[in-house]
Every structure is written in structure tokens, then in C-alpha cells.
Amino acid sequence: MHSKKVIEPLLVKFVRLLTAMVFIFSSFTKGIDPMGTNYRVVDYLEVYGWYFLVDFSFALSVLLISVEFLLGIALLFKLRIRLAAIGVLLMMIFFTVVTYFDARYNLVPDCGCFGDAVKLSNWQTFIKNIFLLIFALIVFVKRNKIARQMRKWIQVTMLLIILAGFDWFIFYNYNHLPVIDFREWKIGNDMKSTGRETVKTYLEYRNKKTGEIKDFISPNYPWNDSIWMSKWEFVNQRIDDSQLILKHGLIVEDEDGDIYTDDIIENPGYQLILISDELDKAKGQGMIDAATLFTRLSDSDINVILLTSSTKDIIERYRELYAIDYDVFFADDVELKAMIRSNPGLILIQNGIVITKWHHNDFPQTDYVKELISQ
């Protein structure tokens, strides 16, 4: 006697497919940039005081991405759907609670739910999770009407093969640069700020005798008139930078605290920047390869520097080991991690335009760099 074929309701099918696509897209954008996901996981671990897990943050990141992808694939192809429905529901309950507290108290400014591909505010993320939680409940309740008539071992084998391929993709992006760069410092972007000439500083002065208040645009006020200055007192200052467009938040300083951001980023010539957010955690071979490359480029028309957030004593500790005889500048580690997902990493810039970038596993040969800058 044949069992009656179970037909999946159209609404349930729509909800299942939509939830599956969100899970797959979310895990894909995280898998492209596993280091970025790792930074978000560290943020959450530190916020909740789980410092003992920070050393395992990357493993937790890979696990999170893999589980999310696996559940999405299971929903999409109806593989082990009963287990998948439970897994999706539990995951959505957990993350809905987490994102509520995140939105309520602004614990972490960016959850990284879709990596850098799609930016959502904390409240937008929470609302998105409410809808997904409802979808997860529908799939869970109707899971018996979705089940595929296929041997369980075949379904498990299919899932494991797909997961193995996706994990290879994650580790490829980890050992090289992300195959798709969603961040500001991606190749081809012009990082020069515009509208600096439009910035105006307004100074407000009050007449000591009459109380009259006047606004002046700095430096167009009689600051060098001692008689005028004796009659007027400074009240307030405001800056109008509404037309200023900053392409990045990077501030480059030398050891004396002098700002060199524009000199380096907007250098009209070729600028090769070695980036190490934490020098004591940099891949040693990468630092040595960079030193070798810089030495061989010494006769080329290219400026080379090291950009780091490490302190002077750490730099001195490694100066001889890594042959750091080139200029060293300092910047915030968050900005450096945003520039390149590699420690160390190389970025070639000309007149503010990001020409190309290299992970330390892919540092270029000298001839290739010389060919690039000769074009």
C-alpha cells in the first residue's frame, strides 16, 4: 500500500525558501570575509565578559558561519528538514534575544549579520530577526509537510559534501584576501577626501557693553585689533563641514604626533604601504618578505612605509629582526584592519586610488611591482 504523498503548502514553501536564501546569503557574506566576522565575534565576547573564549574566536566564527550555511542549504533542498527546522528555530531565538539587547543598549555598533555587504542598524537587525523568527516557527510547525522522501544517509552525505566545499571557500578567503571586497579600501576606489575648501569655522563674539552678538568666519575678524578685542569677548565656535566628504576615517601620525594622512594617502606618486595592526602578532615570514621587497625596490620611484598601531617599544624590538629601516607611521588598529585583512598586508596607492592589495601569503615579486609602477 502506497503512502499518501505530502504536498507542501505554497505559503510554507515561500517562507522556507525565503528563510533559506537569507541564511545562505548571510553565511556567504561572512564566509567571504572570515576575519571580519572574527572581529565581530570578539566584540560580542568582550561585551558579555566572555574573555576566556576570545582565543577561540576564529574557531567560533567558522563554526557560526558553517552552521548558518548548513541550515540554509538544508532548508533550500529539504535535507534532514526536521532537524534543520529545529536548528533554525533555536538559532533565531538565540540571535533575536542577543540583537534585542544589542539594539536596546547599543552594546556593539555593527552586528556584521551580512558582513560588510549590507549594513543594518541594531534596531533594523532586531526587526529583521523578528520576521525570521516567525518564519522559523512556521517551518518548525509545518516541518512534517516539508520532509523529503530520501534515505537519511544520502541527505547527510550531500550536506557534508556541500559543507566541505563551503569551508574550503572560508579558509581560502582567510589565507588570501576576500574574493569580493565590500569595504571602502577595495581595489579601484579613490580615497581622496573632497570639499575641504568648503569647510568654514564660525566664531561668535559678544560686545561686553551692549551684549550684541556677531558671527565671523575665521580668520576674517579683527583678532589683531587690541582695542576691538578689549570690547568683545569670545562666546562660541562652530564648524560647517556639511560639504566635506571623507572617504575614510584613517589618521596617519608620526612618532611626534604630526599628521601625515594626506601626504601618504594622496601622494601623487606611487605609495607602497606595509600594514601591520599588531606587529607582535604579524606573520614573521611576511614581514621578512616585505623587507626583502622594499630593499629591492630602493632604486625605484616608489615610497615605502610601515603603518602600525603598535607602540614604539614593540617596533624597536622587531626593527632589527624585520630589517625595518623604512619610515614608520601610526594609525588606529580598527582602521588598519578595515584597510586589509592580513597581518602584514601590502597596499599600493597612487594619488589616493587603491591600485592593488596583497595578503602576506601572496606578496609580489619585485619585477611585478616595478612593472605596475611603470605603466
Distance CA 39, CA 160 (A): 27
Within a domain: residue 32?
yes
- The CATH number that applies at residue 360 is 3.40.30.10
**Inside any domain, residue 181:** no
Based on the domain organization, do 369 and 266 belong to the same domain? yes
How far apart CA 247 and CA 52 sit, in angstroms, is 36
pLDDT reported for residue 243: 80
User: Would you say residue 45 lies in a domain?
Assistant: yes
Burial class (CB in 10 A: 0-12, 13-18, 19+), 179: exposed
266 and 146 share one domain: no
**pLDDT at site 4:** 56
Q: Provide the 10 A C-beta neighbour count for residue 98.
A: 18
User: Of 158, 175, 192, which one is at a domain's C-terminal end?
Assistant: 175
Q: Are residues 127 and 236 both part of a single domain?
A: no
Classify 235 as helix, strand or coil.
strand
Structural domain count, the chain: 3
Q: Is residue 224 part of a domain?
A: yes
Q: Do 218 and 299 belong together in one domain?
A: no
Residues 159 and 19 in one domain: yes
Q: In this predicted structure, what is the pLDDT of residue 63?
A: 97
Is residue 168, in this structure, part of any structural domain at all?
yes
Q: Which of 159, 175, 191 is the last residue in one of the domains?
A: 175
Of 126, 141, 175, the residue at which a domain comes to its end is 175
Q: Are 32 and 117 within one domain?
A: yes
Measured between alpha carbons, how far is residue 203 from residues 17, 43, 215, 237, 342 in Å?
59, 40, 6, 5, 45
Same domain, 235 and 125: no
Per-residue pLDDT of the chain (375 residues; tens, 9 = 90+): 445 566 888 999 999 999 999 999 999 999 999 999 999 999 999 999 999 999 999 999 999 999 999 999 999 999 999 999 999 999 999 999 999 999 999 888 888 889 888 989 999 999 999 999 999 999 999 998 887 778 999 999 999 999 999 999 999 999 999 999 999 999 999 998 887 778 889 999 999 999 999 999 888 888 888 899 899 999 999 988 878 788 888 999 999 999 999 999 999 999 999 999 999 999 999 999 999 999 999 888 899 999 999 999 999 999 999 999 999 999 999 999 999 999 999 999 999 999 999 999 999 999 999 999 887
Establish if 3 belongs to a structural domain.
Answer: no
- Do 142 and 270 belong to one domain? no
Identify whether 276 is part of a domain. yes
| Structural domain containing residue 207 | 200-240
296 and 230 in a common domain = no
Q: Are 67 and 127 members of one domain?
A: yes
214 shares its domain with 269 = no
153 plus 229 within the same structural domain: no
Residue 318, CB-side half-sphere exposure with 13 Å CA sphere: 23
> Is residue 269 in a domain?
yes
